[in-house]
Amino acid sequence: DPRPAAVDTYFKAHLHSANYHAVLETIHSHSLVAGLPDIACSPTQAKFLMLQARMCNAKHILEVGTLGGYSAAWFAMTSPDTKVTTIEADSGFANVARQNIETAGLSQRIEILEGLGTTVLQSIREEVQRGLREKFDFIFIDANKQDNLAYFNAAMDVSKDRAVIIVDNVVRNGMVVSAEEAEKDDRVKGTRELIDVIGKLKGIEATAIQTVGEKNYDGFLIAMKV
């Protein structure tokens, strides 16, 4: 179906001004040239997430899964004093992201922490507990889906009251509803485990929204600490 991509093109043409665009498009194209998989958020998705962060007046954003730094660069557009901390396990991806962020002139506002998500988040937990690091007000989880629950639990620990936590790729072409798919695909399993837990947690309001567009049929989970 060509319509979702055509509609994204239309919305980008009309709603995405040139302010942001040169720098972000450079990051996207350089990431592809460097051989990274084409799995970053689309421009309309990334701007949607940035606007959500702006609506929260987010100043300290945490991202799990940097890839080439595309969404991190968008998050840096939240406000001139917003700081982004982004975690990447793949050293090749992290190198590309560092180059991209440097080229974009965003190194002062985007901190790339290289290492396994669970390991780096444990260090962040300890820093937060010791008062060495501020709690985050907005967290985007977009890394290996098998560890979604661990990332979410860490996100709960390192975020402020009323923080917003968004998780990418919770629909996966509709596979999320299938226990059978989950048995075959760890990524679906990881997301289903997370959704089970969030549904029973106190102190959080959540829903999920399905998306179409230039990327495949997928969706975001959005949760808020209440």
The residue ranges that bind ligand DHB (CB under 6 A) are 39, 142, 168-169
Taking CA atoms, 142 is separated from 66, 72, 81, 86, 89, in Å, by 8, 11, 23, 10, 12
Which residues within the stretch 110-149 sit at the binding site for Mg ion (CB under 5 A)?
A: 142
CB 137 to Mg ion: min, Å: 21
Nearest residue to Mg ion by CB is: 168
Minimum CB separation of residue 226 from ligand DHB in Å reads: 27
Stretch of 55-63, 154-162, 165-173, 201-209 lying at the interface with Mg ion (CB under 5 A):
165-173
Cβ neighbors of 225 (< 8 A, separation 6 or more) are: 156, 159, 160, 161, 162, 163, 164, 165, 203, 204
Nearest residue to ligand DHB, by Cβ distance, number only: 39
Cα–Cα nearest to 93, from 136, 38, 172, 12: 38
CB of 91 to Mg ion, least distance (A): 19
Determine if 169 is a binding residue for Mg ion (CB under 5 A). yes
- Minimum CB distance to ligand DHB smaller for 163 or for 190: 190
- Select 63 or 193, whichever has its Cβ closest to Mg ion: 63
Size of the site for Mg ion (CB under 5 A): 3
Q: Residue 133 Cβ, how far from ligand DHB at the closest point, in Å?
A: 25
CB of 38 to Mg ion, least distance (A): 11
Contact call for residue 88 and Mg ion (CB under 5 A):
no
**218: contact with Mg ion by CB under 5 A:** no
Which residues of this chain interact with Mg ion, rule CB under 5 A?
142, 168-169
